[in-house]
A and B are shown apart, each in its own frame.
Chain A
């Protein structure tokens, strides 16, 4: 089964840019939409956005002005950039595959997240 692994700094200064990458373990990065989801400490899940390798994307309206998601097919990676961060952006960040696959049948168009990374904690602090 495909695995996702994030990488990036765990500490970002206020007003700077949070940058994370997620590596997809198999060669399927061109077949699905890829998403970022976050969870502030002690709180619920918040969808950040998703992107297809062709550039088709959707972002959470509350974050859209500060977020960019990109896909690098050559590296089997997709990335998140969140600009002008504040303490409110402190959270566990998850990368996830959008869609559902089972037994050789895949529903890539569904708004569901079937594969998640383990999550990485990012703290915004000076």
Chain B
């Protein structure tokens, strides 16, 4: 089965840049999506199609892809950005959806 790997945790101070990576053994040609999940709440889509930002999502959230790794970057991190972040994609045939294990972002 296809798997996406994320670091369990990332810590940054307010105003710094947080980078959360997501990698797969053979990152498919499928797009990667990112969700923010605050404690006790449903996930919210923050990046779609690798690097597009939905309306209403602050400009400090951005996404990029390089080879078999995609990265969610949060520039000028704010305390309110503390949450769990999940990457998500599908297998190379686009049939089966897969989520990464999630990364807990801590704002020091």
Contact = CB atoms under 8 A, between A and B. Distances in A.
Contact of B96 (A58, A100, A102, A112): A58
A74 interface: no
Given A112-B31, A112-B45, A61 B96 contact: yes
A53 interface: no
A110 B43 contact: no
Nearest to B31: A110
Contacts, number: 67
Interface string A5-32: 0000000000000000000000000000
Interface residues of B, number: 28
A117 B96 contact: no
Contacts of A112: 31, 33, 45, 48-49, 88
Contacts of B100: 44
A92 to B, nearest CB: 9
A100 B102 contact: no
B42 A94 contact: yes
Nearest to B54: A102
A61 B2 CA distance: 11
Interface in A70-126: 94, 100, 102-103, 110-114, 116-119
Contact of A44 (B55, B94, B102): B102
Interface string B30-54: 1101010100011111001100001
Contacts of B94: 111
Nearest to A100: B48
B54 A114 contact: yes
B43 A45 contact: yes
Interface in B82-108: 86, 88-90, 94-102
A63 to B, nearest CB: 11
A118 B43 CA distance: 9
Nearest to A112: B33
B66 interface: no
Interface of B: 1, 30-31, 33, 35, 37, 41-45, 48-49, 54-55, 86, 88-90, 94-102
Interface of A: 35, 44-47, 50, 58, 60-62, 94, 100, 102-103, 110-114, 116-119
